[in-house]
């Protein structure tokens, strides 16, 4: 497809379980971002990748959260020992370029809704 694709669209899990959320960015976009959006709130930055490397992971809330982008395209957000407070919509976005070059427009996917029971 032409847009950012995220799977699964919905995930229900039990407290303490491990979860993986996948993001397939727009082809050719080198920058990839993960945001978390709680109900009624704006997206909150988690991490972004420039190519394969995590250029900024300062938004990850704790060491239970980890993300990878091994080939510079698809990314996976991994959450260990899930807690009820992790329940949110996890948004992935990609952009054509990073920094002052280009428009910097972020293209968001529809998100993965995570519910931790």
By the rule CB under 8 A, 106 interacts with other proteins: yes
Q: Which residue among 80, 105, 115, 117 contacts other proteins (CB under 8 A)?
A: 105
By the rule CB under 8 A, 99 interacts with other proteins: yes
Candidate ranges 11-19, 63-71, 78-86, 88-96; the one touching other proteins (CB under 8 A): 88-96
Binding mask 23-62 for other proteins (x = CB under 8 A): --------x-x------xxxxxx--x-------x--x---
Q: Which of 44, 35, 36 is nearest to 95 (CA)?
A: 35
Q: Strands, DSSP E only, in 4-110?
A: 5-7, 10-13, 19-24, 31-37, 44-50, 53-56, 65-68, 75-79, 88-95, 107-108
């Amino acid at each position: 497809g032409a847009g950012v694709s995220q799977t699964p669209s919905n995930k229900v899990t039990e407290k303490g379980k491990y979860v993986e959320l996948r993001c397939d960015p727009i082809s050719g976009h080198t920058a990839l971002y993960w945001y978390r959006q709680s109900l009624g709130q704006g997206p909150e930055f988690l991490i972004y990748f420039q190519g394969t490397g995590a250029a900024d992971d300062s938004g990850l809330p704790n060491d239970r959260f980890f993300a990878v982008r091994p080939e510079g395209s698809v990314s996976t957000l991994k959450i260990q020992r899930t807690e009820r407070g992790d329940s949110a919509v996890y948004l992935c976005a990609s952009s054509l370029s990073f920094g002052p070059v280009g428009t910097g427009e972020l293209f968001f996917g529809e998100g993965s809704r995570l519910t931790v029971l």
